[in-house]
Amino acid sequence: MRLCVAIPCFFGNLDFCDAVRRAAALGYDAVETYKWEHLDLDKVKATLDECGVEMLSMCTTEWRMTSPEHRGLWLEGLEKSCAAANKLGVKRLITQVGQDTGAPREEQHASIVAALRAAKPILEKSGVTVMIEPLNTYVNHPGYYLWSAYEGFDIIKEVNHPNVKLIYDIYHQQVMEGNIVTSVTENLELIAHLHCAAHPGRIDPWLGENNYNFIFDKIDEAGYTGACGLEYKPTVGAEESLRKAMELYGKKGLKHGEHGSE
């Protein structure tokens, strides 16, 4: 399993380029972030190249996909985010779908599908994959619309486009649905990226109720060739936590380019 450092979780107070260098020094060749608009894209790209690190994902700037009246804003933000992604060599963008608007769920579901279908020309032009993200509503995101990975899979199937996928966050789905290994391994063609953290607490993965060595091994055996972003609140120092994560879950000897991620 290729591991990816979610920079804001560990080095949010550092200059972004210095954070990339810290991750690289710890043996990581992949990072991701959320907001990109405050970044000096040229400087970040130069640092990524300098360190041999790939930026795997970042977020779109607008998330209200459940609301048809905001679709134009979401598409505008997607286009800008795709341009930034192209500049940084990022191939995937995370988009949340927005809060439950109170409209019937079938209408909100249809609005998300319509937004993703409308995004096809932008995605095809840029070559970027957009990933919708189910989140838990019990602990971290009350009122969020898309809490079920299975509804997310249905949305991806309805849109039916190679540049529209799902990001599967193991922590969020452990809170909401469980059945992690089966959910992931039976839907690999719909998943472009993983996130992980321990439940409860969204902390270091080895401290919770999930056996991540077992989960990662089963996902690898099923043929997953992407990465898993470490997206949690470390209970020890950031660098100490990342060292332990690499020790526990990193596949030794793999070099950039051997992972097969798209």
Cβ neighbors of 178 (< 8 A, separation 6 or more) are none
For residue 107, how many other CB atoms are within 10 A of its CB? 11
pTM of the model: 0.95
Q: Which of 52, 29, 48, 94 is nearest to 242 (CA)?
A: 29
For each of the chain's 262 residues, which pLDDT tens digit applies?
899 999 999 999 999 999 999 999 999 999 999 999 999 999 999 999 999 999 999 999 999 999 999 999 999 999 999 999 999 999 999 999 999 999 999 999 999 999 999 999 999 999 999 999 999 999 999 999 999 999 999 999 999 999 999 999 999 999 999 999 999 999 999 999 999 999 999 999 999 999 999 999 999 999 999 999 999 999 999 999 999 999 999 974 343 334 333 3
Tell me: the pLDDT tens digits for 50-100?
Answer: 999 999 999 999 999 999 999 999 999 999 999 999 999 999 999 999 999
Contacts of 150 (CB under 8 A, 6+ apart): 177, 183
Q: Following DSSP, what letter does each residue of the chain receive, concatenated?
A: -EEEEEHHHHHTTS-HHHHHHHHHHTT--EEE-S--TTS-HHHHHHHHHHHT-EEEEEE-S---TT-GGGHHHHHHHHHHHHHHHHHHT--EEEE---B--SS-HHHHHHHHHHHHHHTHHHHHHHTPEEEE----TTTT-TTBS---HHHHHHHHHHH--TTEEEEEEHHHHHHHT--HHHHHHTTGGGEEEEEE-BTTTTB-GGGSSS-HHHHHHHHHHTT--SEEEE-SB-SS-HHHHHHHHHHHH--TT--TTSS---
Domains of the chain with CATH codes: 2-249 (3.20.20.150)
**CB-based contacts of 121, cutoff 8 Å, min separation 6:** none
* Spatial contact of 261 and 225, defined as CB atoms under 8 Å apart: yes
